[in-house]
Amino acid sequence: MALIRPVKGIDPKIGKNCFLAENATIVGDVEMGDDCSVWFNAVIRGDVNSIRMGNKVNIQDGAVIHCTYQKTKTIIGNNVSVGHNAIVHGCQIADNVLVGMGAIVMDEAIVESNVLIAAGAVVLEKAHLESGHIYAGVPAKKIKKLTPENFQHYINRIANNYVMYASWFGEEE
């Protein structure tokens, strides 16, 4: 079973039909919706501020979700995939977003809906990523429009696949 523990008397709240890997860590002021998954070695640390996640969010292996004390909360919408070893820190991510493997999204960044952040990209503090585009690089820059095919192939397919993968483990927590 995942490490789930309160911080300062606040317990994480986990939605229905969520998969939590045995070595995932979820602490403090964290609320996640239904059909979410938190994979091996992922950490969601709501110890210094709150973290809110919508439905059908997957936090893949080794990813870290955190925030900044007395400054920034982390808000993640619905149908969001956070890739392996990505860092999402004190920012807002709207619905239908893919944060690629190893990408970093920093404090006070705003990521609108329907955005693909490429693997290894670094979204700087206070950056604003516009809906309907792919962002890549260090620092992350808009590189092209997100086509309906890209959206379906990367954003929807991955989010839906992670709901399916979670079902393979046979645990509903």
Domain ranges of the chain: 3-167
Is residue 97 within 8 A of residue 119, CB to CB? The reply is no
**Topology of 3-167 in CATH?**
UDP N-Acetylglucosamine Acyltransferase; domain 1 (2.160.10)
Q: How far apart are CA 82 and CA 139, in angstroms?
A: 18
- Classify 96 as helix, strand or coil: coil
Q: How far apart are CA 136 and CA 16, in angstroms?
A: 34
User: Per residue in 109-164, pLDDT tens?
Assistant: 999 999 999 999 999 999 999 999 999 999 999 999 999 998 888 999 999 999 99
pLDDT given at position 170: 75
User: Per residue in 45-103, pLDDT tens?
Assistant: 999 999 999 999 999 999 999 999 999 999 999 999 999 999 999 999 999 999 999 99
Burial of 10 (0-12, 13-18, 19+ CB in 10 A): middle
What pTM does this model have? 0.96
Sign of CA dihedral 105, 108, 109, 114: positive
